[in-house]
Structure 1
Amino acid sequence: MTLALAVAVTAVAQSQQAAQSLYDQGKWQEAATAAAALNTSAGFALAAEATTAGAGLSADAQKKPLFEKAQGYARQAIALDKNNADAYFELARAQGRLAQYSGILNSLNLAGDMKKNLDQAIRLRPNMAGAYVALGLWHANLVSKGGAATFLTGAKKAQIVPNFEKAIALEPNVAVHRIEYANALLLQGNKAGAAAQLQKAVSLPADTFWEKRDLEAAKAQLAKLQ
């Protein structure tokens, strides 16, 4: 590697870290802009993550366009690197959120695509805890709808718990995994199990803007269940 190339690589890495820092502070719009400007696969994947997260803070009318924008970023990340597991995961995550704001038929199509992208993320990185959480939620949400949703997508109740347990075994100290597990258990009517997961979640450290937000949501949810 030439000195000039080494300097360029270092600059990109530092810029990615700067964008990540903005995201961790909750400055999702600035983070997405900075990350996308890098024109790298990792940058576009981070831009997708930031945009999807930011949609959660935005007015309802803005959510669907933001989830669509996040999908666009994720697809750009895949176009630049077909082996970027994060890119497939972020595409799946944006599709899952978008499905909540789509008609039944379109949401089932998105569910199918989401599953394919999660499977691809796991093929590329078998220890990606977040992908197992998303798979657990995928099964939980579709099973809770019942009927055509489970028949057309192949979602199974028996796949919910194993996916969450796998994620927690990989990353036991990540609160959001347990919070999403609690959400999945609530969809199954298991309030006691959900409360147990939330109890563990609120005992874990929260450093970033998003982790602190998750912690407050977990505390509120736990209070309702007790």
Structure 2
Amino acid sequence: MTTSVAHRFDRAKLRRLWSRLHASDAEPLPDTDRLTEAWCHFHSGQFEKAVALGLALGAQGHNVANKAACIHASYLEPSEKQRHAVFLDVARRAADDCGKDPHNASAHFWHGYALGRYSEGISVTKALAMGIGSKTKQALETSIALRPDRADAYVALAMFHADIIDKVGALIAHMTYGVRRDTGMALFSKALSLSPQSPYVLVACAQGRQMLESTGDDGGTQALYQHALRMQPADAHEALLLALAREQASV
């Protein structure tokens, strides 16, 4: 994507907006010049550069590389096959990081998140049959146990519940996979309580609640969309996210 002037980041801007931009993932402020550069690339919308530099930094750069890879695949990659490959690559890299450091909450998150996105791409029911569902759930639950202040982990786990219920129905989802509608809604609520001003959390919770609502929208889903859309995007990722939300809110 082309980076707009409004979304070009340097070190000073990154530091100024860091808390706002990372309210949902509790990512620590980078402490090296190269890692700062990688995050500047990410927030500027130069996702491929962020991936390349993050990977070049080794384990300390995996969070920015994983996030940039997943955002690029989700919003900008036209090839379905390549999207699947990216999510699997992130999942494998994160799983390796988990093996080296079982207490790495971010590695567990990216393992679960990437597996979840891969599952959506190949179909949730197929992924469940392959045993991916249990790995996704376990990874996200572990991330939450290690970092209970991480809102995006609650969102990802709630979306896991929502996706399964949406595809196989509430009864089978509960009996076969231990998934419940009220658990999903509670997880979305927890994410909103942790990060109520995050456009990502607002939009993702609106999407997920829409999937879980059994009797139609009580106004809550659209309220979340409208709250997000009243915000100005602070970086390139939020610009992509809010553009998508604008489309969905008008449907």
In the superposition, the TM-score normalised over structure 1's length comes to: 0.86
Q: Secondary structure at the match of 1:100?
A: helix
Partner of 2:176: 152
Q: Which runs of 5+ in 1 are unaligned?
A: 1-10
Change (3 A) 1:12 1:36: farther
Q: Which amino acid aligns with 1:55?
A: A
Alpha-carbon distance in structure 1 between the residues aligned to 2:181 and 2:85: 31
Partner of 1:201: 228
Q: How many residues align?
A: 213
Output aligned runs, 1:126-141, within 5 Å. Answer: 126-141=148-163
Partner of 1:44: 62
Aligned to 1:27, which of 26, 46, 54?
46
Partner of 2:35: 16
- Bigger drift between 102-111 and 116-125 goes to 102-111
Aligned to 1:210, which of 233, 237, 244?
237
Higher relative helix content: 1
Is the CA contact (8 Å cut-off) linking 2:199 and 2:242 kept in structure 1?
A: yes
Q: Secondary structure at the match of 2:142?
A: helix
Alpha-carbon distance in structure 1 between the residues aligned to 2:142 and 2:237: 26
Is the CA contact (8 Å cut-off) linking 1:142 and 1:150 kept in structure 2?
A: no
Partner of 2:18: none
- Bigger drift between 178-187 and 120-129 goes to 178-187
Q: Secondary structure at the match of 2:210?
A: helix
Is the CA contact (8 Å cut-off) linking 1:195 and 1:222 kept in structure 2?
A: yes
Q: Secondary structure at the match of 1:206?
A: coil
Output aligned runs, 1:170-189, within 5 Å. Answer: 170-189=194-213
Partner of 1:4: none
1:58 paired with 2:82, answer: no
Is the CA contact (8 Å cut-off) linking 1:51 and 1:69 kept in structure 2?
A: no
Is the CA contact (8 Å cut-off) linking 1:47 and 1:73 kept in structure 2?
A: no
Alpha-carbon distance in structure 1 between the residues aligned to 2:197 and 2:185: 18
Partner of 2:10: none
Change (3 A) 1:127 1:116: same
Change (3 A) 1:205 1:84: farther
More RCO (CA 8 Å, sep 6+): 2
Alpha-carbon distance in structure 2 between the residues aligned to 1:150 and 1:68: 27
Q: Which runs of 5+ in 2 are unaligned?
A: 1-29
Shift of 1:156: 0.2
In the superposition, the TM-score normalised over structure 2's length comes to: 0.78
Q: Secondary structure at the match of 1:187?
A: helix
1:98 paired with 2:113, answer: no
Change (3 A) 1:119 1:20: same
Q: Provide the alpha-carbon RMSD of the alignment.
A: 1.9
Shift of 1:94: 0.5
Shift of 1:154: 0.7
